[in-house]
Structure 1
């Protein structure tokens, strides 16, 4: 029987003097709460090693009038999730897994209450919006050079103007995740079917050849299903064995409350995929190996340093633009064929990194920064 299907045991929690971190998620009628349970179990385990009490808290059970709240902890020996009463948290780590859950009125009210309350500090209030990210980054002359030209995809005419400037474009849903819904357009004016549209399916892409701009626009409208999109200048990425790759940076606040690079991974595109995301057929690789292969040893070392600096600069500007105190983000960065670095996306709720060293650092940093926040509050 799966852990989420097992019967939950209700126990009283023992008296607590430790700092308390609650992992915030959404309740679920079948599974009791939503989210990545192995990630939550890792957080509970790491919290113990940092002398924190950690539990899973649903929006439904977050009540500012109470000293004790109902939550869940993980019993590793018996592979069980246990329902208990826990102290009201000092820190809340927002891991609500879906945008639509976060947009529910009740959820928005509770998150707003967390941000107002002097009792609790909230990590990363909400998901990022792709359009907002590019607006914020273009406001600073330091981060503007890293951002591909990006516009909202509103009309057939706006697409025409963009294609005139850039014959290779990416179309991305404003609220997309893990490469879902991404399309590319290649303009080949010498051909009888000049517009080549590729649409990302599960682990491969589907290609449409369109004769006219109107045909292209109709196909894009059909594939987008009414979702809001951005159009972005296509970048010719460096490749490894003829497969494009990009870099995944995890940036977190450290024990001194400063932005720091927790790790840098790399993802290579699947042979039939237009994105490098692993769920879409991409694979994990060592960034140094890929950069050395594409640029040589010395240039690879220089590019790694440049990527680190860019990631930290971008994180600071995103935090500034958001107007909120942020704790972590992952970001997708590309290296073009001439060694230029580009920002593509940032995620306010990073997924688990598969690289063991990055994973360990990412868990430790949450509690190191948590201690910093609690010291600062005192």
Structure 2
């Protein structure tokens, strides 16, 4: 048997009826591939314990005409990554870590080719754009009520119009991540410098007071550096010890291919931060404890149920409107001081949740959904 045939035989033997899931990332000259290595190692461990073959593959090594691919597997014994020849995947889980990487022409072409490939299913094809999310959610009567007034930040006139309606605004980069680049505006009309602009800087924020809307606009322009921004009605969020908090929901598809809540955590804003993101000084807390503190036990219980149902409802609408196959998303939901619920953000590549019970379930759910996709693929092939 020549080496080519013995290789194919070995690969077929390795597969032996098992589902193969490849974690897609981008190659790196220095460290072989990019991405959150501890997350990838956790995924590989979980998948293997559930009977899957799991490996990391780079866009460059994802050759769609081959039976086997060069992939990376984690060796726990010596805490290292090794490249091996592995079976072609049934499922591709997109974890390309940066928007800029995903925008590269070669990457876009490869993702497009995966969509057209008859034997592979790729889910979560791209990062979300904030403006698109609000447009998609506005399309449905059931999700529209959860959206704060949101406009593209294009002209000083448009900003002025919004400030006349709302004296508190959030300005967010359309393609932002983890609270980076967020600003707030508070208008206090009775003062000499009525416009208060707060800018998020790592774990603290800086405040600028402006006497005119034009001065405010030039400060915003300088700060945004030409990046596309949205302006959004500021919400008076419920707070704990005078620090605002919001809810972070993880929604994933289950073994039946249906959206389901994996878990809900809460994040309290840092002492001098304008966001609740942990990298910006936010703190993790138990959502029930915070809601009981702001409302009462009965109301807290109802709000938590509502948050779970709302997150699933929103995930369904985002997938429907995007026209793409999605498998998971994290979501920021806020509850204002009178108990209304608001949607702020969804992320198609969730960072890992620190709450252990949510973390473990989130890893398993990737493979529950992977098994569902593989079963659908097999049924389609059998019926073809």
- The interval holding the TM-score normalised by the smaller chain is over 0.9
- Aligned partner of 1:104 in structure 2 is 104
Return the TM-score normalized by structure 1: 0.96
C-alpha distance after superposition, 1:206-243 (max 9, x if no partner): 10000100000000000001110000000000000000
Q: CA deviation at 1:266?
A: 0.3
- Aligned partner of 2:340 in structure 1 is 340
CA separation in 1, counterparts of 2:202 and 2:78? 36
CA separation in 1, counterparts of 2:264 and 2:59? 33
DSSP-derived class of the 1:346 partner:
strand
DSSP-derived class of the 1:334 partner:
strand
CA separation in 2, counterparts of 1:187 and 1:162? 11
DSSP-derived class of the 1:15 partner:
helix
- Aligned partner of 1:125 in structure 2 is 125
- Aligned partner of 2:242 in structure 1 is 242
CA separation in 1, counterparts of 2:20 and 2:371? 10
Corresponding residue pairs, total: 367
- Aligned partner of 2:303 in structure 1 is 303
- What are the within-5 Å matches in structure 2 for residues 1-378 of structure 1? 15-17=14-16, 18-377=18-377, 378=379
CA separation in 1, counterparts of 2:77 and 2:331? 36
CA separation in 1, counterparts of 2:88 and 2:351? 26
C-alpha distance after superposition, 1:39-71 (max 9, x if no partner): 000000000111000000000101111111111
C-alpha distance after superposition, 1:252-299 (max 9, x if no partner): 000111100000000000000000000000000000000000001010
C-alpha distance after superposition, 1:159-208 (max 9, x if no partner): 01111111100000000000000000001010000000000000000100
DSSP-derived class of the 2:42 partner:
helix
- Aligned partner of 2:5 in structure 1 is none
CA separation in 2, counterparts of 1:255 and 1:72? 26
CA separation in 2, counterparts of 1:299 and 1:370? 37
CA separation in 1, counterparts of 2:315 and 2:83? 37
CA separation in 1, counterparts of 2:15 and 2:121? 19
- Aligned partner of 1:8 in structure 2 is none
Q: CA deviation at 1:127?
A: 0.3
CA separation in 2, counterparts of 1:82 and 1:153? 47
DSSP-derived class of the 2:14 partner:
coil
Return the TM-score normalized by structure 2: 0.95
CA separation in 1, counterparts of 2:374 and 2:82? 27
DSSP-derived class of the 1:35 partner:
coil
CA separation in 1, counterparts of 2:14 and 2:254? 29
Q: Which runs of 5+ in 2 are unaligned?
A: 1-9, 380-384
CA separation in 2, counterparts of 1:278 and 1:127? 20
DSSP-derived class of the 2:313 partner:
helix
CA separation in 2, counterparts of 1:125 and 1:334? 27
Q: Which runs of 5+ in 1 are unaligned?
A: 1-11
Q: Which moved more, 1:368-377 or 1:30-39?
A: 368-377
- Aligned partner of 1:6 in structure 2 is none
CA separation in 2, counterparts of 1:59 and 1:82? 17
- Aligned partner of 2:6 in structure 1 is none
CA separation in 2, counterparts of 1:313 and 1:101? 30
